[in-house]
Amino acid sequence: MSQQTTPFDCSDTHPACRILRSASRESGVTDPGNLPFMLCPPQATTAALLVHGFTGTPWEMRPLADFLADAGIASLSIRLPGHGTTPEDLAGRRWQEWLSSVEDGYQILSDEFTSVYGMGMSTGCLLLLALAATERFSGLVLFSPYLRIRHKLAAHAGWVRWLRPYYLKQTREEFQIRYYDRKPVAGIHQINLLIKSLRRRLADISCPVMAFNGEDDRTVDAMSSFELMGLLNSKVRIHTLYGPDVPHVLTLDGNPCRGSMFAQTAQFVQAIDRSRLPRRSR
């Protein structure tokens, strides 16, 4: 299944995105849908940095990118190291490598666009928050943010990884090319280290933040998102908890509230951009 192109797709023409895609291919990414991508509507001055979740790929952020492009918002969806390749590749990665790729994406957009927003899915939220402690995002939109993973052994991944390097998680057949069905426990350990580091920096984040979680999240503790939001220093904090029909991955069509959620996301960005426009004197 190849990634669908749109009139706004500049993935193979934008120099920086071309470099990201080439590097991904050299790292072992074979399916085009799992490569980084960039959408650039004409005259766009605002862009979103899109960051996928643990064991996922940029593909899961494509529906959001298409919606934003129709609203005149550009986007760059990066690929975290170890993703879209093999579980063994991911098992050898550190969270600092993931953060470095997010930093590279931010730099690409900040050099070209007036406003840059961060939008992440699950662990992608944590990485954007870590970067927002030092860089100036215009705002953040977090899909399934968390501070705790639900699996009972997740907190002990540091030693479990030596006894059980991988755990199996059944993946729908059509998603097997997008997500690993063998999850490296070493990666969970890296997430734990990321959360430990991030907790100390959440109070340094002051940009506007909008977050969404679902009660049917079976991957992370959705309620821990309230703790996360409470630790931020942002004056604007908007948090929506959807009901028991909404799962973990909010950007795909399994989320029945996806359409309204995307609309809220675009309105959030547009409202912030409007508030920053200089007022005309009478």
Domains in the chain, ordered, with CATH? Answer: 15-274 (3.40.50.1820)
Between the CA of residue 136 and those of 110, 133, 205, 282, what are the distances in Å? Answer: 9, 8, 9, 32
Helix (H) or strand (E) holding 195: helix 185-199
Per-10-residue mean pLDDT for the chain, 282 residues long? Answer: 69 97 97 97 97 97 98 98 97 98 98 97 98 97 97 92 90 83 95 98 98 97 98 97 97 97 98 77 38
State the CB neighbour count (10 A cutoff) for residue 276: 9
What are the residues facing 141 on neighbouring strands?
119, 210
The whole-model pTM stands at: 0.95
Which of 10, 22, 183 lies closest to 87 in space, CA to CA? 183
Crossing angle for the helix pair 258-275 and 62-70, to the nearest 10 degrees = 50
What are the residues facing 76 on neighbouring strands?
38, 49
